[in-house]
């Protein structure tokens, strides 16, 4: 079910509960990449679980580069997006082990994450 439909039918609280249950289950996995939604950091337990077995990476995109979409119920227009950004930005920074300044080319973002991650975890 699309997130916007789920929010409309069951509400954000129900969504966040399921989100936390999924994070709890999959954060115990080895060698996985977990891409959470932006609201996952609102629950400190989610961050704790993700950090227990991994590294939290914040891919920081400037507000002017973020795009609103109708399938994102909490940021479906520019005003809502700006509100979420302002409410959450500091939480994202404080929650992250690594912060990457995003660029438009996906492969360059992936390369930057690999370089920082491998450098921080090297034995050299």
d(CA 48, CA 27): 10
**H helices within the chain, ranges in order?**
3-10, 12-26, 44-52, 78-95, 106-120
Q: Could you read off the pLDDT of 80-120 as tens digits, one per residue? A: 999 999 999 999 999 999 899 998 888 998 898 888 877 76
* Domain positions in the chain: 3-120
Q: What is the mean pLDDT of the chain?
A: 90
Any long-range contacts for 90-97 (C-beta under 8 Å, 24+ apart)? 91/41, 91/42, 92/38, 92/41, 92/58, 92/60, 93/58, 95/41, 95/47, 95/56, 95/58, 96/56, 96/57, 96/58, 97/51, 97/55, 97/56, 97/57
Rounded Cα–Cα distance for residues 95 and 76 (Å): 24
Q: Which of the pair, 73 or 23, is modelled with greater confidence?
A: 23
| Dihedral in degrees, nearest 10, Cα atoms 20, 11, 93, 95 | -20
Tokens 């709890």: give the residue.
24
Distance CA 10, CA 25 (A): 22
Query: 71 pLDDT exceeds 90?
Result: no
Residue 114 has a pLDDT of: 86
pLDDT average, residue stretch 20-32? 92
Specify the CATH number of the domain 3-120: 3.40.50.300
């Amino acid at each position: 079910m699309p997130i916007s439909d789920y929010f409309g039918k069951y509400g954000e609280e129900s969504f966040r509960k399921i989100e936390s249950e999924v994070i709890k289950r999959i954060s115990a996995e080895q060698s996985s990449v977990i891409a959470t939604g932006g609201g996952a950091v609102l629950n400190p337990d989610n961050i704790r679980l993700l950090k227990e077995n991994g590294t939290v990476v914040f891919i920081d995109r400037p507000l002017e580069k973020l795009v609103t979409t109708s399938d994102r119920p909490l940021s479906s227009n520019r005003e809502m997006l700006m509100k979420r950004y302002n409410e959450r930005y500091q939480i994202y920074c404080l929650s992250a082990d690594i912060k990457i300044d995003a660029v438009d080319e996906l492969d360059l973002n992936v390369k930057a994450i690999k370089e920082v991650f491998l450098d921080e975890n090297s034995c050299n």
